A = this chain, B = another copy of it.
């Protein structure tokens, strides 16, 4: 096999392992969302609000990488369950600020704790140094796109 072939082979191999790891870890972590009946997007929205405070829909959309139209629906559904509420910004009336309600805060606090525990369990396959190393390598890969 020529050098180019080796490079390709190695890249494909690494890529496959990266994707399998990400997918297998997330799919196990997301199991904890079944009981509270949250979709992954709903969890993403609640978690963003929980850690960043109130946000407008566009910011939420860009945070969880979904379209603004989709966020409208996700927030609608969370609002129906009384987990968040919308409030029109009086300075710029185009904006809706989304707030966690009290029960929304309670729910995400509990669910996030469970997700966190699941992630710790998953990551326990690697020791400290390995996790540090994996983090660095992933960071290098992810940064590529910031061009």
On A, residues with C-beta under 8 Å from B are 7-8, 10-15, 17-29, 65, 116, 119-120, 122-126, 128, 130-135, 137-145
Question: Looking at the complex, which one of B21, B133, B141 makes contact with A122 (CB distance below 8 Å)?
Answer: B141
Q: Is the interface of A mostly helix, strand, loop or mixed?
A: helix
Q: Is the CB of B17 within 8 A of A142?
A: yes
Q: Is the CB of B8 within 8 A of A138?
A: no
Question: Looking at the complex, which one of B14, B17, B23, B120 makes contact with A126 (CB distance below 8 Å)?
Answer: B14
Q: Is the CB of A14 within 8 A of B123?
A: yes
Q: Is the CB of B21 within 8 A of A142?
A: yes
| Bound CA–CA A21/B145 (angstroms) | 10
Q: Which residue of B lies closest to A122 (CB)?
A: B144
